Amino acid sequence: MFSRWGAFVYRSRRAVALLAIVVAVAALSLASQASSALSSGGWLDLSSESADVSARLDTEYGAGKSALIAVFRSGQAGADATSAAFQGAIATAVTGLQDDPRVTGVVGYGDTGDARFISRSGDAAYVLVQLDLTDEDSVAAVDDLRAAIAPPAGYAYQLTGYGPITRDSATQSEEDLQKAETVSLPIAALVLILVTSGVFTSLLTPSVGQTVPIEAADHVPENSQITWKNRPPSSGPHYPVWSQNYGVLEQGLAPGYWVHNLEHGAVAVLYNCPDGCPDIVQQLKDLYPNLPKGRNSRGGQPRVLIVPYTDMDTKIAAVAWGWLLKLDSVDADKLTRFVEARIDRGPECQNLACP
């Protein structure tokens, strides 16, 4: 399935590239609109029913505004948060908020006497800083408001609420992302180097062989005379049976048999020696065990037939279904690369599995 899909993509590569460009341009147009709708809390759909309800509550009842909570503690053990000194320290700490137009009020125990502003242990107290801002807008104001709170010596505070939590969460997420990138980027870089090196190697390594027009793969009676359009043949009519023997077949083999082998994903290496060529035959014998075996090896041997064949113009040729490599001598590198590229790719093969 994947091989057929890959072949389709390759054949339609210009259309696929054009489609990818169109999709990318469309995606960019949508991405450019995201920043206006994306907020720290998620997507804002101003036309939604919940947005309408929130707007009405804000207009009619003053709802929809944000607030901060500042929790104060004393450095003195056993401090009484209800004492005048403790509450005075809080009042001093929030003085800087009074002139900020975004702050509509500061409410705490000192103003109300309400014990709910005091911790259960009695050593901490909080104040509610009311804002004339929405939750979303309060996020951007956190740093300014935090800086405006200045507790006197011996006191400390912590700020919470929608704005601080959202801001701190974003900061923590950014730190975690940086840590993750520190770990993952070297790994991704290594994978990218390995992948691109393979791609560049394949691009820089020139392909071997040439395509040959495919002839109809008809079965003809065994031992009948066959005429092919191409010399040597790399496809076309053939006998109903194919050779079960691979390797160097010095006794020869009729093309009607080995063309059928090509249909099943094998490769044939042909040598043109009408008067004999023992040196070439020996070179091919030495080369054969080192050729790529493919996925459908028979007995651990490469599915390559090396046979004498004289009806061609070169000394050596290698053929696979629809492919031809012409050589003037035994070139081990080119023959190996040709077999590697073409073995297990006959029309009878599916996903490199060949009968």
Answer yes or no: are the C-beta atoms of 103 and 145 closer than 8 Å: yes
Cα 122 to Cα 79, 86, 143, 155, 170: the distances in Å are 8, 11, 29, 15, 33
| Mean pLDDT value of segment 332-343 | 95
Answer yes or no: are the C-beta atoms of 108 and 89 closer than 8 Å: no
The C-alpha atoms of residue 155 and residue 151 are separated, in whole angstroms, by 6
* 217 and 159 part of one domain: no
Answer yes or no: are the C-beta atoms of 63 and 134 closer than 8 Å: no
pLDDT for the residue numbered 58: 65
**Which pTM does this prediction carry?**
0.48
* 134 and 241 part of one domain: no
pLDDT tens for residues 264-281? 999 999 999 999 999 999
Backbone angles phi, psi at 270, to 5 degrees: -110, 140
Choose one of 114, 139, 167: the last residue of a domain. Answer: 167
Q: What angle do CA 143, 132, 138 make, to 5 degrees?
A: 30
The C-alpha atoms of residue 8 and residue 287 are separated, in whole angstroms, by 35
pLDDT for the residue numbered 298: 79
Instruction: Give the number of other Cβ atoms within 10 Å of residue 263's Cβ.
Output: 20
* 217 and 160 part of one domain: no
pLDDT for the residue numbered 294: 87
Cα 133 from chain centroid (whole Å): 41
Which H or E run contains 306?
Answer: strand 304-308
Domain membership of residue 15 (yes or no) is no
* 327 and 237 part of one domain: yes
* 102 and 157 part of one domain: yes
pLDDT for the residue numbered 52: 74
Domain membership of residue 302 (yes or no) is yes
Domain membership of residue 327 (yes or no) is yes
pLDDT for the residue numbered 236: 96
Give the whole-number percent of the chain exceeding pLDDT 70. 85
* 163 and 264 part of one domain: no
Residue reference for tokens 């520190």: 182
pLDDT tens for residues 162-207? 999 998 898 898 899 889 888 888 888 888 887 666 555 544 556 7
- Between strands 267-271 and 316-320, the pairing is antiparallel
Could you tell me the residue range of the domain that residue 280 belongs to?
210-342
pLDDT for the residue numbered 63: 60
The CATH number of the domain where 88 resides is what?
Answer: 3.30.70
Tokens at 157, concatenated:
């505070």
The CATH number of the domain where 270 resides is what?
Answer: 3.40.30
* 163 and 220 part of one domain: no
* 214 and 134 part of one domain: no
Answer yes or no: are the C-beta atoms of 139 and 14 closer than 8 Å: no
pLDDT tens for residues 5-63? 665 665 677 787 788 888 888 877 776 666 665 555 555 566 777 667 666 766 665 56
The C-alpha atoms of residue 145 and residue 100 are separated, in whole angstroms, by 8
Answer yes or no: are the C-beta atoms of 135 and 67 closer than 8 Å: no
pLDDT for the residue numbered 60: 62
* 222 and 130 part of one domain: no
* 150 and 219 part of one domain: no
Residue 306 reports pLDDT greater than 70: yes
- Average pLDDT over the chain reads 88
Cα R_g (the chain), whole angstroms: 40
Answer yes or no: are the C-beta atoms of 271 and 281 closer than 8 Å: yes
Domain membership of residue 5 (yes or no) is no
* 159 and 277 part of one domain: no
pLDDT tens for residues 123-137? 999 999 999 998 889
Residue 250 reports pLDDT greater than 70: yes
Choose one of 144, 167, 190: the last residue of a domain. Answer: 167
SS3 at position 271 = strand
pLDDT for the residue numbered 2: 58
> How many domains is the chain partitioned into structurally?
2
pLDDT for the residue numbered 181: 84
pLDDT tens for residues 104-158? 999 999 999 999 999 999 999 999 999 999 888 999 999 999 999 999 999 999 9
